[in-house]
Amino acid sequence: MLPAAPRLSFSSGTLLLEHAPAAAVRKAFGDLPWVWDRRANAWRIDALEYAAVRERLAKSRLVCHDTVAQWQAVDWPQDNLQKLRPEQLAAVAAWNETRRAAIVMPTGTGKTEVALAIMRQMAVATLVVSPVRDLMYQWQRRILERLGYDAGVIGDNVFCVRPVSVTTYDSACIHMERLGDRFGLIVFDECHHLPGAIRRDAARMSAAPWRLGLTATPERSDGRHVDLAALVGPTAYEMPISAARGTTLADYEVIRIPIHLSPEEQARYDALSRQVRSYLIERRKTEPRYSWADLCGESGKDPAARRALRAYHAKQAVEDRAEEKLRVLEDLFRLHAGSPTIVFAGSNAMARDVSRRFLIPCLLNHCGKRERAEVLSGLETGVYPALAANQVLDEGVDLPAVKVAIVIGGTASTKQAKQRLGRILRKSGHARATLYEIVCADTNEERRSRRRRESDAYQGTRHRRI
C-alpha cells in the first residue's frame, strides 16, 4: 500500500496533520509549534495558528490535503451601511493592513459600524463574539438592519448556527471546539474580555484567519491584555476618549451625591461593623496575625466566625440598599422628569427595589430576549420613563435617547465607570449628558467611588448635597 498523503484537518479546536514525516514538518513549518500526538498518531497545533500554517504550506513543497476551512462566502442581502466618518475609515484601513488586528475606540464612536463595514468587505462566514446576551442580540439586530442578514444565535439556551452568527464569550469558549472551522472572520467585541484563562480558548480554538478585536478599554488589571496581540492581533488603530469628548460625543458632567444612612440603618451598620471588628480584635489577642482570609477560612469550623462573616455581608447589604438612595432617586426623577433615565444598581436586589418602588422596568439576568427588547425599545420610544439595571447593561448596549444615568452602587473598577459613562454619551442632539453617583458617606462605598473617579473620564466631578 502506498503511504497515505499528508492531510490537514480541524479537530476539537486544534489542527491535526496526519501522515506527515517529522523531517517534512520541520522543513515546511520551521518555527510553528507542532506537537506530536501519540494518541492520534498525528501532529497537533492550536487552530489559532491556521493562518500561519496555510501561509507556510503555500510556500513549501509539502503537498497537503487541507480540509480545515469549512466556511463559505456570504452574499449580503442588503447594503444599508452608513457612510463612515473619516476616523472610522482610518480604522478600517488600518485593520486591512494585516486583517488580524484590534481597534480601540471609545464607546459611542461607532465601533459597530466599523465592524459591519469590515464584514461587508470580507463577505465570508463570520462569528461575532460579545460579552453579554444583550449585546449579542444587539449585534443580531444591527446585522439584520445594515446587511439584511438574519444571523444565527449561539448562547442564551439557543444553538442556531448559521454562516453568520452571534454568540457570547462564554458560549464561544465552550462551543468553539466544534465550531472553530466554520467561520473565516471572527469579531471579538469588547475584546479586553478575551484574555481570561479559559475564555481565550474562544480565540485559540478558532481557525479563522481574519480577526477583529473591538474595545474602548483594552487594559486589564491583570496585565493579560498583552496576549491580545497573539489571540487577535496588534492594535491597529486607537482613538483616545478625550478626542471623542465634545465632538462625536455629547458633552457630559459627573455629579456625586453623598447620602447618609438613616439612623436605624446607621445603627445596624455600626452594630454589624462592631461585631466584625470585635471578633477580629478578640482573635488577634491570641493570634496577632489573624487576618480576614483566616476568618473566611474558619467560617466552616466555627459558628462565631460564620456569624462574623454573615455580619460583614449584612453590612454591605445595608449600604447597598440604603433607603435614602431611593429618596434621592425620587428627587432626581423629579428633576429630570421627561428625560429617559437609567439607574445602575449594585445588586439585583437593589435593582428590584428600585423597580418595585417606582414601577419602572428592571433589566436583570432573568429577563428573556423579548422582555429585554421590549424594555429597551420602550425606553427609546418613551413608553417607559426610566429603567433600572445591574451589570447586565455594563457594556455598550445602544441607548441613544438616554441623557441621564444614575449609579447607585457598583464595584470599584475604572473600566466599569468608563463603560457606564460611555453609554450615556451617545451622539444625539446637543443636550448635555449627566451622570449621577449616589454613595453612602463614611462607608466603603465612598472609598470605591473615589477609586472610580481616578479614571480620566471622570475628571470634572462635582459634589452636590441634596
Partner 1 sequence: MLTRELAIAEYKGGRVLPDRLGRTQHAGYLAYAERMLAIYRNGAGRTRRELHRGVQAVFADEHDCPMRRIGAFCKLLDDASRFDRDTRGRAAELRREVFRRAAAFHPLVAKADRLFEHEEARVKAEIAAERGTTWEEIDRHLFADVIEFHRLKTFEGFADGAALLARYNVAQTQAALFDAVEMTVWAAEDFKTILRYAKLARLMHSIRRAGDGRYVLRFDGPASVLRETRRYGAAMARFLPALVACRGWRMHAVLRMPNRAWQNRLQLTSEDGLRSHLPPPEEFDSNVEQTFAERWGGEPRDGWTLAREAEVLHRGQHIFIPDFVFQHADGRRMLLEIVGFWTPEYIEAKLKTLALFEGEPILLAVAESLTKSENGSAPVAWPDGTVFFKTALKIKDILERLGVEF
Residues near partner 1, by CB under 8 A = 11-14, 33, 35, 37-41, 44-46, 177, 197-198, 201, 204-205, 299-303, 306, 309, 327, 330, 333-334, 337, 348, 352, 356-361, 364, 366-368, 370-371, 374, 378, 383-386
Q: Where are the beta strands (DSSP E) in 109-215?
A: 126-130, 152-155, 158-160, 164-168, 185-189, 210-215
Alpha helices (H) in 300-347, listed in sequence order = 303-320, 323-335
Minimal distance, residue 150 CB to partner 1, in Å = 23
- In terms of CB distance, is 243 or 373 closer to partner 1? 373
Q: How far is the CB of 357 from partner 1 (least distance, A)?
A: 7
Residue type, 303: P
Between residues 23 and 197, which has the closer beta carbon with respect to partner 1?
197
Q: Note whether 257 and 436 are within 8 A (CB).
A: yes
Within a 10 A sphere around the Cβ of 432, how many other Cβ atoms?
A: 10
Nearer to partner 1, 75 or 222 (CB): 222
Of 343 and 425, nearer to partner 1 (C-beta) is: 343
How near is the Cβ of 277 to partner 1 at its closest, in Å? 21
| Residues with Cβ within 8 Å of residue 59, at least 6 apart in sequence | none
| Cell numbers describing residue 35 | 506537537
- Contact of 319 with 261, CB cutoff 8 Å: yes
Integer CA distances (angstroms), 321 to 113, 291, 391, 439, 441, in order:
39, 27, 16, 11, 14
Q: State how beta strands 252-259 and 462-463 pair.
A: parallel
Task: State the nearest-atom distance from the C-beta of 371 to partner 1, in Å.
Answer: 5
Q: Which is nearer to partner 1, 33 or 86 (CB)?
A: 33
Shortest distance in whole angstroms from residue 43 CB to partner 1: 10
Q: Please report how close the Cβ of residue 196 comes to partner 1 at its closest, in angstroms.
A: 11
Question: Residue 5 or 383: which CB sits closer to partner 1?
Answer: 383
* 6 in Cβ contact with 67 (< 8 Å): no
Task: Provide, rounded to whole angstroms, the least separation between the CB of residue 300 and partner 1.
Answer: 3
- With helix as H, strand as E and coil as C, how does 33-89 read? CCEEECCCCEEEEEHHHHHHHHHHHHHCCCCCEECCCCCCECCCCCCCCCCCCHHHH
Burial 256-266 (b: 16+ CB within 10 A, else e): bbbbebeeebb
Question: 75 or 221: whose CB is closer to partner 1?
Answer: 221
CB 38 to partner 1: min, Å: 7
Indicate the residue among 205 and 241 with the shorter CB distance to partner 1.
Answer: 205
